[in-house]
């Protein structure tokens, strides 16, 4: 279990993020077009997982906008923005905001990603959603970086690639 804060109050997650050097767990998510999104889709590329509770929060929306800008600068990498928001909400947000450089993905169908990656919130008002986190996998699926993101991050993107 890990602890993060929400409005200064501690909340817990179901487990721990995958550790650096370990193999990143397989995932199966749903894209805004309702098609499956899985790590195998990005074979041979680095995968940056931007994990967050909901597009309907200012901080999470800002992170997706920022990752979209940064993703346009990356070569041989895919940025996957993951939340429990419905694929329709992801699609609407991306269309409204002009987001075109990231892959939006929802956990709504499998409800397993948050548990597998250790980010599902287990208590507090956001129980069942996912804590903000960034996980970077190399071309072979090995974890290069994993971080629970602080409640009020001063820098939403770190130079990983």
The CA radius of gyration of the chain, in Å to the nearest whole number, is 14
Task: Give me the numbers of helices (H) and strands (E) for the chain, helices first please.
Answer: 3, 9
Run of H or E including 21:
none
d(CA 4, CA 155): 17
Q: Which of 47, 48, 60, 71 is catalytic?
A: 60
Q: To 5 degrees, how large is the angle CA 10–CA 12–CA 13?
A: 145
Does the active-site annotation cover 60? Answer: yes
Strands 36-38 and 133-137, bridge-based pairing: unpaired
Active site amino acids: 60
């Amino acid at each position: 279990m890990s602890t993060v804060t929400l409005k200064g109050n501690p909340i817990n997650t179901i487990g721990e993020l995958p550790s650096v050097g370990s193999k990143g767990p397989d995932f199966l998510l749903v894209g805004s077009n309702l098609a499956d999104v899985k790590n195998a889709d990005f074979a041979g590329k680095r995968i940056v997982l931007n994990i967050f509770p909901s597009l309907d929060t200012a901080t999470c929306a800002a992170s997706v906008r920022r990752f979209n800008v940064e993703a346009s600068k990356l070569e041989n990498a895919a940025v996957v923005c993951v939340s429990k928001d419905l694929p329709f909400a992801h699609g609407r947000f991306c269309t409204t905001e002009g987001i075109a450089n990231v892959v939006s993905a929802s956990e709504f169908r499998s409800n397993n990603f948050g548990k597998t990656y250790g980010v599902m919130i287990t208590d507090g008002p956001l129980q069942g959603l996912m804590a903000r986190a960034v996980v970077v996998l190399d071309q072979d699926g090995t974890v290069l970086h994993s971080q629970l993101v602080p409640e009020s991050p001063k820098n939403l993107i770190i130079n990983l690639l």
